[in-house]
Amino acid sequence: MHQQSMVASPVDLLHFEKEAHRRGCQLVSGIDEVGRGPLAGPVVAAAVILPHHVELPSVRDSKLLSAPQRESCCQEILLCTSAVGIGCVEPGEIDRVNILQATFKAMIQAIENLPTPPDFLLIDGPYQLPLPIPQKGIPKGDQRSLSIAAASIVAKVHRDRLMCEYHELYPAYGFAQNKGYGTARHLAALRRHGPCPVHRISFRGVKEH
């Protein structure tokens, strides 16, 4: 009797894209966001349409990559496609509408900022956007779809660059290092200085100050 292989089959990161192509969709866009959890800075979404049969072996969920790896992958993505859209919702709007609604708004902006309208959407998470475009929400989509993984990288690189720019304006909070997340140094700076204009006033950890 042959021993069963214990090695897991590799995930086909183009499975969902191919499924949409088989149904006649040509422009399939992956959508992902970054920045739901930080105490400061915007929530940023990206929409990316990859060419059919693209090969990007280094691209995977942005959370699994180092900052230099993300920068390198982002350049690869931008070189292989011109179909990239970015959406950005600032802290004041996050405070007004809540972070989930701000996330949806950033995703819709990213789709609207694509140079060519997509005919199918692959969305990270169990979500449906209020758009008249066929779509599929995919839990953990940044680990299961190449288009979503590419969008996660583009969004993360864009947001990190913005937070480095905010660091130049408000150096006391260490935004270049913490990217707005509630690290010990960041929380200590909030206690010492109070919030700055890019903090999310409605978030716990900020509103107390």
In sequence order, what are the residues at sequence separation of 6 or more whose Cβ sits closer than 8 angstroms to the Cβ of residue 149?
Answer: 13, 30, 32, 59, 60, 61, 62, 142, 143
Q: Which two tokens stand for residue 20?
A: 């949409």
Reported as a pLDDT band with limits 50, 70 and 90, residue 65 is: confident
pLDDT at 149 over 50: yes
Instruction: Identify which of 154, 47, 155, 159 has the alpha carbon closest to the alpha carbon of residue 108.
Output: 47
70 found inside a domain = yes
Domain, as residue range, for 83: 15-160
In this structure, what token pair is assigned to residue 156? 């993360």
Question: What are the pLDDT digits (tens) for 166-200?
Answer: 999 999 999 999 999 999 999 999 999 999 999 99
Determine the pLDDT at residue 11. 75
Is there a contact between 132 and 21 (Cβ–Cβ < 8 Å)? no
CATH code, domain carrying 126: 3.30.420.10
pLDDT digits (tens, 9 = 90+) for 85-115: 999 999 999 999 999 999 999 999 999 999 9
Q: How does DSSP classify residue 59?
A: -
- Is 103 part of a structural domain of the chain? yes
In a domain, 34, yes or no: yes
Round to whole Å and give the CA distance between 120 and 96.
Answer: 30
Q: E strands, 125-173, where?
A: 135-138
Per-residue CA distances from 78 to 24, 47, 83, 149, 151 (Å): 25, 12, 8, 13, 11
pLDDT at res. 123 = 98
Residue 29 parent element (H or E): strand 28-34
Task: Give percent of the chain with pLDDT exceeding 90.
Answer: 86
**Residue 108 counted as domain residue:** yes
Domain count, the chain: 1
Q: Is the pLDDT of residue 62 over 80?
A: no
Residue 205 lies in a domain: no
pLDDT of residue 10: 61
Residue 201 lies in a domain: no
For residues 44 and 106, what is the distance between their CA atoms, to the nearest angstrom?
A: 6
Dist. CA 203–CA 199, nearest whole Å: 9
Top-confidence residue, 175 or 60: 175
Round the average pLDDT of the chain to a whole number and report it: 92
Distance, in Å, from the CA atom of 192 to the CA atom of 45, rounded to the nearest integer, reads: 32
CA distances from 201 to 89, 160, 195, 209 (A): 14, 20, 8, 9
